[in-house]
Amino acid sequence: MSLAERLWRFHGGISLPGSKGLSTAEPLRNASIPDILVHPLSQHVGAPAEAIVSPGDVVLRGQPIAKAAGYVGSPVHAGSSGTVVEIGAHPVPHPSGLSAECVVIRTDGEDRPFRGYDPLTNYRTLNAPALRARVRECGIVGLGGAAFPTSVKLNVGVGLKSLILNAAECEPYISCDDMLLRHRAEEVILGAQVMLHALEIRNCCIAIEEDKPEARAALMAANAGIADDRIEVTVIPAVYPAGGERQLIQVLTGQEVPADGIPADIGYLCQNVGTAAAVARAVLRGEPLISRVVTVTGSGVASPANLEVRLGTAVSHVIAECGGYTESARHLVMGGAMMGFPLDRDDLPVIKATNCLLVASKDDIRPRDAALPCIRCGDCAQVCPARLLPQQLQWFTRADDFEQVEALNLYDCIECGCCDLVCPSHIPLTQYFRFAKTEIWARKREREQSDHARERFEARKARVEEQARERQRRLEAKTRALGKVGKDEAARKAMIDEVMKRVREKKNAGSSEVDPE
């Protein structure tokens, strides 16, 4: 039975110009391998990976250079063969602009492969834990932007009804999934089959927006060629942000994911189509995640295109592969125009979450006017896909009333930017919400650290008091022992005195019996 027998609408959303034609005119191609690859150890949700190589080590393409730390984690693999020249802090792409621990490799130009992962062409004979282990060891994470470890997401337990592959790609400018489907749709179908086996379910829906006719045709042709009746392709309206996980589930099923829950709670699991292709390569070819498709677009770059880029490649190298910057280049953004974040330098590495590099001119990105007071028009609430009240969230954030902000379900905000776009007062609402999330997290962390310190202090105090009580108990026991010894000595002395007394008495008695005559 089809998952989407009819389509539904989610609350809010807006129609945006796609601006995708800039980067889809040229076919998908491979970017060249740079001389230096910088691999951050933290490019996924969860604990940073732990380096397992040292400076001077020679590594091969796809060789693990860092192991996953903890259940929610992911290993990191060398993007090409070469020599590890450094392990240390380097700037990484992140809204905070902070640095992170990285493994730096000088490539040797030979691109020699690592042979450590045998293809599992017989994966249908394997159980779910074995497939999850392969996905984990190959470093597969969500390639739609979240970068959540895929092996963890595949371990959802029982009660799952359907796998949903997200090919909506609703954000303007981004076209990496579109081009992946045009050129490698079969990989996506094969990845869907692998995940269906790992999840032990029999239904997969691939959702694609109606503004991608070439990708849709390639996907349907690939699905028809493989002829797996468990997999269906569903075309959905092009409304932003229909590609959001919760919004997509609502469009396809009419059901809403609980505010404090995850899609698996109502029987669905969402994965990006790029993730599905990466799973297929990991399982069927033994290829770890060392590259991804990146959209390079905007009127600030000479030849926009989609490239298969080795992870760790500098942004500047990728831009150069597309002809370099134009004179109109003004802004460099990682991600799309709505949810991306600005980069203040281009020597940062491409990471697993890098789906788009937008080089915008002043005409591509509307300059933000000075913010004015909120006029309470309610436009932001009307377009919010999460049914939030952005104006109230902003008021309480400005008042530092984060308890009330949480009560208004701040964490349901997906930071899509719809409220920013329609606000007549030009209030940067999404910035407020990002700040509030960070501030709440920081305060919770501070409280946890304070609680931990208090617990340590109280534990030490209890330990010291117990040690003092133990010393007192030992002292009292010793005193009692000494007192007992003293009593025993007195009794012995009394007994001796008694014996001596009897001896004297006997002696005196004997003397009195002698006749003086």
Query: Are 387 and 252 in the same domain?
Result: no
Nearest alpha carbon to residue 164 among 194, 200, 204, 223: 204
Q: Are residues 238 and 315 in the same domain?
A: yes
Residues 354 and 384 in one domain: no
pLDDT in tens, the chain (517 residues): 467 678 999 999 999 998 999 999 999 999 999 999 999 999 999 999 999 999 999 999 999 999 999 999 999 999 999 999 999 999 999 888 889 999 999 999 999 999 999 999 999 999 999 999 999 999 999 999 889 999 999 998 888 999 999 999 999 999 999 999 999 999 999 999 999 999 999 999 999 999 999 999 999 999 999 999 999 999 999 999 999 999 999 999 999 999 889 999 999 999 999 999 999 999 999 999 999 999 999 999 999 999 999 999 999 999 999 999 999 999 999 999 999 999 999 999 999 999 999 999 987 777 777 899 999 999 999 999 999 999 999 999 999 999 999 999 999 999 999 999 999 999 999 999 999 999 998 888 888 888 888 888 889 989 998 888 888 888 888 777 776 666 667 777 777 878 787 777 777 776 655 444 4
- Please tell me whether residues 383 and 318 are part of one structural domain: no
Q: What is the pLDDT of residue 516?
A: 47
Of 229, 208, 337, whose CA–CA distance to 276 is shortest?
Answer: 208
Helix (H) or strand (E) holding 319: helix 315-321
Q: Which of 101, 99, 41, 96 is nearest to 74 (CA)?
A: 41
Residue 434 forms part of a structural domain: yes
Question: Counting beta carbons within 10 angstroms of the beta carbon of residue 361, is it exposed (0 to 12), middle (13 to 18) or buried (19 or more)?
Answer: middle
93 with 351: CB under 8 angstroms? yes
Beta-strand pair 305-310/231-236: unpaired
* 314 and 431 within one domain: no
Distance, first Cα to last Cα, the chain: 142
Question: 398 and 290, same structural domain?
Answer: no
Instruction: Kindly state the tokens that stand for 80.
Output: 């090409």
Q: How many whole angstroms separate alpha carbon 72 and alpha carbon 48?
A: 10
Domain containing 426: what range?
379-439
Over residues 94-110, the pLDDT tens digits come to 888 889 999 999 999 99
Decide if 372 is inside a domain. Answer: no
Question: What CATH number did the domain enclosing 129 receive?
Answer: 3.40.50.11540
Contact 289, 139 (CB under 8 A): yes
Distances (CA, A) of 219 to 74, 113, 283: 29, 30, 20
Residue where a domain terminates, one of 401, 422, 439: 439
In a domain, 310, yes or no: yes
Looking at residue 517, what is its pLDDT?
Answer: 44
Q: Same domain for 416 and 296?
A: no
User: Is residue 6 packed enough to be buried (19+ CB in 10 Å), middle (13-18) or exposed (0-12)?
Assistant: exposed
Domain boundary pick from 309, 326, 358: 358
Whole-number Å distance between alpha carbons of 219 and 397? 45
How far from chain centre, in Å, is Cα 188? 22
- Asked if residue 470 belongs to a domain, the reply is no
On whether residue 512 sits in a domain, the answer given is no
Q: Cα separations (Å) of 440 from 47, 402, 446?
A: 20, 7, 10
Residue 389 domain flag: yes
Cβ-contact 283, 194 below 8 angstroms: yes
Type and span of the H or E element at 509? helix 429-512
CA triplet 176, 301, 307: central angle to 5 degrees? 30
Q: Both 334 and 433 in a single domain?
A: no
Phi-psi category of residue 342: left, alpha or beta, with phi > 0 → left and psi -120 to 50 → alpha: beta
* Number of structural domains the chain divides into: 2
- Pairing verdict, β 82-91 and 58-59: antiparallel
Domain boundary among 306, 329, 358: 358
Beta strands 36-40 and 268-272, pairing class: unpaired
Answer yes or no: is 493 within a domain: no
Strands (DSSP E) along 108-151, which ranges? Answer: none
> Do 288 and 138 touch, CB atoms closer than 8 A?
yes
Token pair 């007994």 in the structure block, residue: 495
**Residues 137, 77: one domain?**
yes
Q: Please report which helix (H) or strand (E) contains residue 269, including its range.
A: strand 268-272
Same domain, 354 and 412: no
Which DSSP category does 411 fall into? G
Asked if the bond preceding 342 is cis, omega within 30° of 0, the reply is no
- Say whether both 305 and 387 belong to one domain: no
Longest dimension (CA), the chain: 155
3-state secondary structure of 76: strand
Q: What pTM, to 2 d.p., does this model score?
A: 0.85
Question: Is 125 buried (19+), middle (13-18) or exposed (0-12) by CB count in 10 A?
Answer: exposed
The contacts of residue 350 (CB under 8 Å, 6+ apart) are 292, 294, 309, 310, 311, 312, 313, 314, 315, 318
Same domain, 279 and 388: no
Q: Is residue 510 part of a domain?
A: no
Q: What is the DSSP letter of 327?
A: T
